[in-house]
Amino acid sequence: MPFLELTLPCTEVDQPRYERALENVGALAVTLSDAHADAPDEQAIFEPGVGAMPLWAELSLTALFPGTTPRELLLHALEAADDGIDWSHVEFREVADQDWERAWMDQYEPLKFGERTWIVPWNHALPEGADRDGSAVVRLDPGLAFGSGTHQTTALCLQWLDGLARRGELDDATVLDFGCGSGILALAALKLGAAGAVGVDNDPQALIATADNAERNNVRDRLAVYLPEDEPAAMRYPVVVANILASALISLADELAARVAPGGRIALSGILAGQEDEVIARFDAAFEQLQVARLDDWIRIDGVRRR
């Protein structure tokens, strides 16, 4: 059965009002995206900072309805639900019924990072090389697509963790994955030899995805997940990785530094090229040996906590 898709522009301020009206008239799902994501001079947020809402100043809002929904009656219902909203910019289109999660999984291929870290869809056969002794294989459900290793920022962090493991710096360590999303970085750390991991994210669905993927990888007993306000305050970690946004890294610099044990290591990612100097300036007082790695237009900064 096809669906009816409704799309309209709105602002961050008005988004809750629009979404409430759409839900009141029976929307099956409402999703948000950056209204300028396709503009060459605009940068869409790929992941919000911990504690931040994943919104842009100007939004494109999409709602899904049963395919048999009459368009004119739907517009009348929306006007009745909130006659203070201008519904004249609504666009409709029919979308085919299909298994969206299956379509994504079918396109997702195993990926290798560093010397022995592999990210493999849970329903995919192990590729050549991933079945060797010593390989660290993370089985991921791309249907819970908070983070699948395909983005450059995640790749930079996975490469960093692989390098720590190669030098024995993950052995017996507890790793903090701050802004964990799917838990991919925490799971990779555990598969690479970490004794334990903690995932922190402001989105409860991300914590569910992380726990689900931990079960799938048989490491649930070594992984704890928390909302930011529930994380134990006294914890200090020998390894911290924060793959969020430069603006969030800068605002949370003191909190992140406080989570790293003296002599411990941190990796900061989600930084666009050109933003690294500001991030380094913010973390320089607490960390030494700060260095920059780049993949395409994205940056990772890593360093050692001053003693």
Structural domains in the chain, CATH included, are: 3-97 (3.30.70), 105-305 (3.40.50.150)
On whether 154 is known to bind a ligand per the annotation, the reply is: yes
Q: What is the pLDDT of residue 111?
A: 86
Q: What is the pLDDT of residue 32?
A: 72
Residues 97 and 65: their CA atoms lie apart, in Å, by: 12
Q: Which residues of the chain have pLDDT under 70?
A: 1, 34-57, 97-108, 141-150
Q: What is the pLDDT of residue 36?
A: 58
Q: What is the pLDDT of residue 67?
A: 82
Q: What is the pLDDT of residue 106?
A: 56
On whether 202 is known to bind a ligand per the annotation, the reply is: no
Contact indicator for 212, 146 with CB cutoff of 8 Å? no
Q: What is the pLDDT of residue 122?
A: 74
Contact indicator for 163, 12 with CB cutoff of 8 Å? no
Q: In what order do the strands lie in the sheet with 111-113?
A: 111-113, 117-121, 136-140
Q: What is the pLDDT of residue 34?
A: 63
- What does the chain come to in residues? 307
Q: What is the pLDDT of residue 100?
A: 44
On whether 123 is known to bind a ligand per the annotation, the reply is: no
On whether 243 is known to bind a ligand per the annotation, the reply is: yes
Task: Supply 273's token pair.
Answer: 């090229």
How many CB atoms sit inside 10 A of residue 291's CB? 10
Terminal-residue alpha carbon distance, the chain: 62
